[in-house]
Structure 1
Amino acid sequence: MAHASVLPLRIRFPRTNRLSSPAVTRSERLARHGGSSRFVFPILAVGAVFQAIMQTVMVPLLPSMPALTGASVTAVSWLLTTTLLVGAIMTPIFGRLADMIGKKRMLVTAFALMTLGSLICALTSNIGLLIVARGLQGAGAAVLPIGMSILRDELPRERVDRAVAVLSATLGIGTAVGIPFAATIVEFADWHVLFWVTTAIGAGVLAAAVVFIRESRTRTGGRFDAVGAVGLTGALVCLLVPITQGGTWGWTSPAVLTMFTTAVVLFLLWGLQQLRNGNPLVDLRVSAKRTVLAPHLVALVVGFAFYGNTLITTQLLQASPENGAGYGLTILQAALCQLPASFAMMIFALVAARVSDRFGARAAMFAGALFLIAGYAVHAVPDKPVWTVVTAVFIAAIGTTFVYCTLPLLILGAVPASQNAAANGVNVLLRTVGSTVCSAAVASILAAYTLSGGVSAAGFTLAYLVCGGCAVIVFAAAFALPARGRRSSLT
């Protein structure tokens, strides 16, 4: 392993670096191709919503999948785990490749893998094939960071901030829409219809990307760090698998403890290898800068807080009040109660972009943290009416929108243009890790407070308070941000 860190296996790509005169490149590009640039943002926005839906579309189906596939509960759980795991792995790798060999090329690859995964899900009930297909869908997590980098290349400078902010919010919009979208179709049709619909959406987005999005002329070229990619993959697998399966395997089981220990060792070795590599997968020196490290920390904890708003509330609304806390709603009713979160993210994405532009990124981050804290304060109140639950979901979603919209702007302003996609890929990766940790933490908390077949009100309150604690960390981390963000990397 030490030898590999000194002499990493790397794959060389042609260098086509045109960063020496980015202002000229941009003006020429906009002058020559301004007609088609108007299609770029709609395509990327639909694609980002589509990939976010893929992450949550299986949630309402999961309780029924053992009966529908003839598989065990443990096997079925991998229909969620595989998507998150592949997404976490592919996001930084695809982001780096996009900077090196072309953003359109990697974007189209991600769309094609998502669409193929949907098609396989539509055609089969075999659990093995479904797990593979869900893994292919996980590759779509790279759409968001690549899309942000494309917007930076394609749009006029004055439109970049707002477009990137709104695109970042689509991750939350798609996640919030995914559950009611899936629940509605499953309520009235065979579950395979759900994936026929997503296949059609994927095919449409793929075709539009091929026709209307141009390949970026800003590329770094150089060598792809294959050893770094393998090392990061191994470390993430050893970290995320026990997190997602710890409740099933047992948190103190030899398998879980061994994988966590291995993850620590692999991350340390991978970090050393990256620091000694002249062309690393992730530039850790840049990531260690305060202006980059603070947004990455925020991404981790806000991913936790955001996912809790959906995950905990879904279980609370569907839980039977006869055996503990809950409202006894159907899957569809519970999903519809969370639609206000989608509306909040659609409406407040532009508001967040304007606040950040006028008052600075730190002000927008503070506002988002305060909304999150307020939302979880309402969530933590036990035995409240349903309309109060919906209100809390709405308030917390506003907070998530402000934070999600601010993060990519901070990253774009803090890293060189040649690292835009890779750096945002790491940021999206940390959001995914935060959501994965939230899933495991919530499951453990609710299991600890389950009595007579139901979860007590204290269990739901504690789960919400943990998410509220993450919002407090976001508030504290905002003090490490510059008072007004600079967009030096755009010039």
Structure 2
Amino acid sequence: MKPRDNKPVNPRVLIAVLCFGGLLASFMQTLVIPIVGRLPVYLDTTSDNASWVITATLLTAAVATPIAGRLADMFGKRRIILVCIGAMIIGSVICAMTSMVVPMIIGRGIQGLAMGVIPCGISLLRDKLDPARIPGAIATMSATLGVGGAIGLPVAAWITQTFDWHMIFWTAAGLAVFTFVLVFTLVGESDARSPGTFDFVGAAGLTAALVSLLLALSKGASWGWASGLTVGLTIFGLVTFAVWGWFELRTRTPLVDLRVSAQPVILLTNAVSILVGFSLMAIGLAAPQLLQIPHIPGLVDYGMGQTILATGLILAPGGLMMMFFSPVSARMNIKIGPKITLLTGSVVVAVGYLMSVFMMSEPWQIFVCNIVVSIGVGIGYSAMPALIMSAAPLHQMAAANSLNSLMRSIGTAIASALLSTILASSVIEIGGGHHVPTESAFRLVFIIGSGVAVVAALLALSIPYKFVRHSGGSTTIETTTISEKV
């Protein structure tokens, strides 16, 4: 079996293979959600130790995303995609073969490296496809960041309810091997390369800063927000970020070119990415709990008593709608421009959360609201790469897309920390020492989700991006930094 490098390949095959890889990478994020409550028993450990099974993936995914982007620009996007998928295979096998907490955390951490597939895949599509196919392909690939997790939830729930819990990791390993073979045999390499050497100091500094801040965010609720460890990690992370930025501005081949990232189009798009990532996590965190809380008349009237599998099936169509609307978003990018498309997506998200404030008593209401929010997130996610690539240099395309993906991940991490604290701080006891969030806590989460989406819309509106469409069929895209013919 020989790899395809610069040989031509059917564009539809290329898009399908890379998007499947993106779906699988994002599936890693929700893989253990159906068994998270049982992990202490499965791994014979405490709840706090078991929570690292999720935290480890979050940390490594955040760190790997910008590093994978820079390596892809230097050594080839297809090559780094294969490395990321290889890490997914190794991590999945480690998890599948253990019932101990430390190897499980290590395996989950290695699985998190797979998130580099999505930004590298977006950049590879940009390099390999004809201009007419690029908008739709990139929109679909970008949407996989949310779709895989949504679809994977009911699949993982069904596997764990039907088979031994290790089977979800064996399934992930098998799918990863299949994807590796597809990429190896069907995907060609890009000729675009970025000169220079790898910035090891910058990578170490960014890793230290991200790990410190994300640990403080994800573990602050259990450690205590005012504890010395949480405060210390936060201060260390912020100081390290400042020093890292100072260093990156003075090195010849930085891991992240902050001058490019500081361009208004990229800077504001990344800011919106944080907020849209926050919005995606808000519905993902609140809806499953709301659906699974038992219905107790007179005490928990808002509870719906759904099983894990039923919850996954109710929420999965949201992910499907994200995928369905990715080509719609691509056409919107062409017809009205990605700035207005991103604005539209943010407004739709705000409307979906506003609906949720008043529609949270029946499963069908959650179903409808989740679909509306997911449509908005899908439209927004699909517009972001078009904005990023309008301003980023070709030889830094993967790094720029990786940074954008990182901003989405940071948004979800902030949402997870903040909203989990809100849900945990307002609870009622339902018997046997069990506590569940109050109805007002869920309503507050939805109000915050709507407010964040409104802020995202306002930021999107302020992006200095002008879109001019000529009657002859060509489209001129102008920003404050470039003019590009599409």
Seen in structure 2, the aligned counterparts of structure 1 residues 329 and 283 have a Cα distance that, compared at 3 Å, is: same
Q: Give the structure 2 partner of residue 305 of structure 1.
A: 279
- Which AA in structure 1 matches 2:39? M
- The yes-or-no answer on 1:241 pairing with 2:224 is no
Classify the secondary structure of the residue corresponding to 1:222.
Answer: coil
Cα displacement string for residues 45-68 of structure 1 (whole angstroms, at most 9, x for unaligned residues): 110000111011111110011111
How far apart are residue 478 of structure 1 and its match?
Answer: 1.3
Distance in 2 between residues matched to 1:490 and 1:59, nearest whole Å: 45
Q: Give the structure 2 partner of residue 20 of structure 1.
A: none
Distance in 1 between residues matched to 2:169 and 2:120, nearest whole Å: 24
- The yes-or-no answer on 1:370 pairing with 2:347 is yes
How far apart are residue 39 of structure 1 and its match?
Answer: 2.3
Q: Give the structure 2 partner of residue 463 of structure 1.
A: 445
One of 327, 339, 348 as aligned partner of 1:350: 327
One of 280, 287, 299 as aligned partner of 2:261: 287
Gaps of 5+ in 1: 1-28
Tell me if structure 2 keeps the 8 A contact 1:305–1:467. Answer: yes
- The yes-or-no answer on 1:423 pairing with 2:406 is no
Q: Give the structure 2 partner of residue 483 of structure 1.
A: 466
Cα displacement string for residues 276-307 of structure 1 (whole angstroms, at most 9, x for unaligned residues): 11211111111111111111001111111011
How far apart are residue 343 of structure 1 and its match?
Answer: 2.2
Q: Give the structure 2 partner of residue 43 of structure 1.
A: 17
Seen in structure 2, the aligned counterparts of structure 1 residues 293 and 328 have a Cα distance that, compared at 3 Å, is: same
Distance in 2 between residues matched to 1:427 and 1:162, nearest whole Å: 18
Cα displacement string for residues 171-219 of structure 1 (whole angstroms, at most 9, x for unaligned residues): 1110111211111111111111111111110001001111112222111
Tell me if structure 1 keeps the 8 A contact 2:303–2:361. Answer: no
Classify the secondary structure of the residue corresponding to 2:166.
Answer: helix
- Which AA in structure 1 matches 2:63? I
Tell me if structure 2 keeps the 8 A contact 1:413–1:490. Answer: no
- Which AA in structure 1 matches 2:43? T
- The yes-or-no answer on 1:442 pairing with 2:419 is yes
Q: Give the structure 2 partner of residue 94 of structure 1.
A: 68
Q: Give the structure 2 partner of residue 454 of structure 1.
A: 436
Q: Give the structure 2 partner of residue 70 of structure 1.
A: 44
Seen in structure 2, the aligned counterparts of structure 1 residues 154 and 382 have a Cα distance that, compared at 3 Å, is: closer
Distance in 2 between residues matched to 1:37 and 1:159, nearest whole Å: 8
Tell me if structure 1 keeps the 8 A contact 2:9–2:187. Answer: no
Q: Give the structure 2 partner of residue 388 of structure 1.
A: 365
Classify the secondary structure of the residue corresponding to 1:191.
Answer: coil
One of 383, 400, 409 as aligned partner of 1:406: 383
Cα displacement string for residues 220-268 of structure 1 (whole angstroms, at most 9, x for unaligned residues): 1311111000000000011000111111101100000000011110010
Cα displacement string for residues 24-77 of structure 1 (whole angstroms, at most 9, x for unaligned residues): xxxxx99x7334544221111110000111011111110011111101101110
Matches within 5 A, 1:77-156: 77-156=51-130
Classify the secondary structure of the residue corresponding to 1:468.
Answer: helix
Q: Give the structure 2 partner of residue 328 of structure 1.
A: 305
**Higher relative contact order, structure no. (Cα contacts within 8 Å, ≥ 6 residues apart):** 1
- Which AA in structure 2 matches 1:378? M
Tell me if structure 2 keeps the 8 A contact 1:291–1:480. Answer: no
The list of structure 1 runs, each at least 4 consecutive aligned residues, that deviate by more than 4 angstroms after superposition, is 485-491
Q: Give the structure 2 partner of residue 261 of structure 1.
A: 235
One of 185, 188, 191 as aligned partner of 2:165: 191
Tell me if structure 2 keeps the 8 A contact 1:120–1:133. Answer: yes
Seen in structure 2, the aligned counterparts of structure 1 residues 267 and 254 have a Cα distance that, compared at 3 Å, is: same
Tell me if structure 2 keeps the 8 A contact 1:415–1:489. Answer: no
How far apart are residue 436 of structure 1 and its match?
Answer: 1.0
One of 449, 455, 480 as aligned partner of 1:473: 455
Distance in 1 between residues matched to 2:224 and 2:305, nearest whole Å: 29
Gaps of 5+ in 2: 430-434, 468-476
Distance in 2 between residues matched to 1:328 and 1:83, nearest whole Å: 29
- Which AA in structure 1 matches 2:325? F
Cα displacement string for residues 148-179 of structure 1 (whole angstroms, at most 9, x for unaligned residues): 11101111111111100111011111011121
Seen in structure 2, the aligned counterparts of structure 1 residues 490 and 62 have a Cα distance that, compared at 3 Å, is: farther
Seen in structure 2, the aligned counterparts of structure 1 residues 188 and 229 have a Cα distance that, compared at 3 Å, is: same
How far apart are residue 376 of structure 1 and its match?
Answer: 0.1
Tell me if structure 1 keeps the 8 A contact 2:269–2:384. Answer: yes
- Which AA in structure 2 matches 1:77? S
How far apart are residue 356 of structure 1 and its match?
Answer: 1.2
Tell me if structure 2 keeps the 8 A contact 1:417–1:489. Answer: no
- The yes-or-no answer on 1:219 pairing with 2:193 is yes
Classify the secondary structure of the residue corresponding to 2:202.
Answer: helix
Distance in 1 between residues matched to 2:289 and 2:113, nearest whole Å: 27
Cα displacement string for residues 454-473 of structure 1 (whole angstroms, at most 9, x for unaligned residues): 21110000011111111011
Classify the secondary structure of the residue corresponding to 1:104.
Answer: helix
Q: Scaled by the length of structure 2, what TM-score is found?
A: 0.92
- Percent of aligned positions that are identical: 35
How far apart are residue 120 of structure 1 and its match?
Answer: 1.3
Distance in 2 between residues matched to 1:422 and 1:161, nearest whole Å: 19
Tell me if structure 2 keeps the 8 A contact 1:87–1:139. Answer: yes
Cα displacement string for residues 429-475 of structure 1 (whole angstroms, at most 9, x for unaligned residues): 01111111111111100111112222111000001111111101111
Q: Give the structure 1 partner of residue 471 of structure 2.
A: none
One of 39, 52, 73 as aligned partner of 2:26: 52
